[in-house]
Structure 1
Amino acid sequence: MKRNATAVWNGSLKEGAGKLTTQTTTLKDTQYSFKSRFEEGVGTNPEELIAAAHAGCYTMQLTAYLSEDGFKVESIESKCDIDLQEGTIVTSHITIHAKIKDIAEDVFQQYVTKAEKNCPVSKVLNAAISTTATLG
């Protein structure tokens, strides 16, 4: 499987603006800019998109592990926080709230850690990756 996205930028870094389009067109000419990345502007930014990718990938990986072993996943909600410092993404932290039938807390935490280390987006990030997970 291969996926792609296209970025087009016009103008200087601070005054210019860009548009992002994904292969599926879920994002189609979605605007991004210096302001949306470093200040308060309309549009998205690369770090927000990485956070979305990491949260989505992680949630699917955790669900796969749990389902493969016969656990009934009612819901998993994952929020990813990306920390960009001095031009480098230094951390990606995922907070998970899950409803899973008949699973012990310690067993659940083992799956959380396994997914943290093995989701494809975790593997591609050169950042400290951490998770906090609660069952409820």
Structure 2
Amino acid sequence: MALTSEATTIWKGTLFEGSGDVTLDSSGLATFPVNWKARSEGVANMTNPEEMLAAAHSSCFSMALSLALAQAGHPAESIQTTAAVTFEAGKGVLGSHLLVSARVPGITEEEFEAFADGAKQNCPISQALAIPITIEAELA
């Protein structure tokens, strides 16, 4: 069964002077303020699309790695993943760097690196970074 997750952004104003709020509709867990300065200058107390992409990538990767390890008979005690998504104005998203530390009894560093590389390739968010995007647009 497919699950569709939704988030809504309400933006007011121009790109440089405006701001918006992103609401996690599916879970109802949070609303986050966003603006251009958070995206281009790293202003505190605001988020940006790349930070949200980093959150999605780090959590998805951790889940994919956890699954791969458990299926191979090596359940992880813990996995910590930081995704660093780089954005440059005029160029867009340049990449996502995953920094992973895990506690997995009974495997070597080489085996762990192979599991991590496989999880990087098979994580749905890693794969989604090249998916087709569809749109429905209407003028209100």
TM over 0.5: yes
Q: Over residues 2-43 of structure 1, what are the superposed CA-to-partner deviations in whole Å (9 max), with x where a residue is unaligned?
A: 111001001111111100001212222x11011111122431
RMSD: 1.2
Contact 1:58–1:115 at 8 Å: present in 2 too? Answer: yes
Aligned to 2:6: 4
Contact 1:33–1:41 at 8 Å: present in 2 too? Answer: no
Q: Provide the aligned length of Structure 1 versus Structure 2.
A: 125
In structure 1, the gaps of 5 or more residues are: 127-136
- Structure 1 or 2: larger strand share? 1
Q: Over residues 48-104 of structure 1, what are the superposed CA-to-partner deviations in whole Å (9 max), with x where a residue is unaligned?
A: 000010000000000000011111311110001111133321211100011001111
Q: Single out whichever of 35-44 and 101-110 deviates more from structure 2.
A: 35-44
Distance 2:44 2:72 in 1: 44
Aligned to 1:36: 38
Distance 2:73 2:129 in 1: 30
Report the secondary structure of 2:96's partner residue. strand
Distance 1:35 1:87 in 2: 16
Contact 2:61–2:119 at 8 Å: present in 1 too? Answer: yes
**Which aligned pairs between 1:51-90 and structure 2 lie closer than 5 A?**
51-85=54-88, 86-90=90-94
The alignment-based identity, stated in percent, is 33
Aligned to 2:113: 109
Contact 2:35–2:48 at 8 Å: present in 1 too? Answer: yes
TM, length-normalised to structure 1: 0.87
Aligned to 2:103: 99
Contact 1:35–1:41 at 8 Å: present in 2 too? Answer: no
Distance 2:62 2:87 in 1: 22
**Amino acid corresponding to residue 21 of structure 1 in structure 2:** T
Name the CA shift for 1:120/1:49 in 2 (closer, same or farther; >3 Å): same
4+ runs of 1 displaced by more than 6 Å?
none
TM, length-normalised to structure 2: 0.84
